[in-house]
Amino acid sequence: MYKLFFLSILSFCLACGTASRNSNQNDKYKNDFTSILNNYDLKGSILIYDPQEQEYYSNDFEWADRGFLPASTFKIPNSIIALESSVLRSDTSILKWDGQKRDFENWEKDLTLREAFQTSCVPCFQEIARKIGVANMKTYLNKLHYNGMDVRTENMDSFWLKGNSQISCFEQIDFLERFISKKLPILNTTRETMLRVFLIEEGKNYKLSGKTGWSYNEIDNNGWFVGFLEKDEKKYYFALNATPKDPKRMEKFAEGRKQAVYDALKTMKLM
């Protein structure tokens, strides 16, 4: 009986992640990361995890542990669940445009999954969520240990954009590392498809993959950029969460989310 109990606890711990919150929290780059955020008129946290050394680096570990709406970073589990449940078949599956006016012109056409992911087509992924359905969404989120989502019938196509759903920078990295290290209970075909969907750029000795997010809770704007860098057979994970320092100065916000992470990785001599 005790052996079964121990094995159950061990299995649960393995499923819940590999990026341990007990890994060392190093403030070596605290001032550098703060300066980078200031350059883009942002306040928040850049969190970078080096699993080879089991070191987290950040300018603000408390911010990195706070929960925020996942916004479009939820397109990551949404895509995985769609593939696992056969709502979508591959990264080239076509998401049909219904002909309705959308916020951006590049959303007003049929898109592949990868194109919808890269252009962050909100209506596309709302339709995907509706096709998955409440019961399946809850089942898969529980299976993936993607916690903190408030999924109900009435908010099925918006729970990641507004409301009470929350995820932290630490949790974003935990999920990404479980994905990369094959700790998520998903098909290999799903994983390989998502690696193609994720990819942003590829150089001679590196690949950078990730997803941005942007939410507005009627008080302030909140932005994400989460992902991973594969370089020289090593992997590094990042999660930025930030808000504009001045709500009236939004000029740098959209691009600043991504560029701040690029600058941080360059500061660490990883890019």
Show Cβ contacts of residue 71 under 8 Å, excluding neighbours closer than 6 positions: 160, 161, 213, 214, 215, 222, 223, 224
- Torsion angles phi and psi, residue 130, rounded to 5: -65, -40
212 C-beta neighbours (distance < 10 Å), count: 22
Tokens matching residue 46: 């850049």
Distance CA 253, CA 15 (A): 35
Tokens matching residue 115: 């194109």
**Residue corresponding to tokens 């649960």:** 12
Kindly state the DSSP code that residue 108 receives in the 8-state scheme.
S
- Catalytic pick among 11, 35, 45, 72: 72
Across the beta sheet with 42-50, the strand order is: 24-26, 55-58, 42-50, 234-244, 221-231, 206-216, 199-202
Per the annotation, the verdict on 72 as an active-site residue is yes
Residues acting as catalytic residues: 72
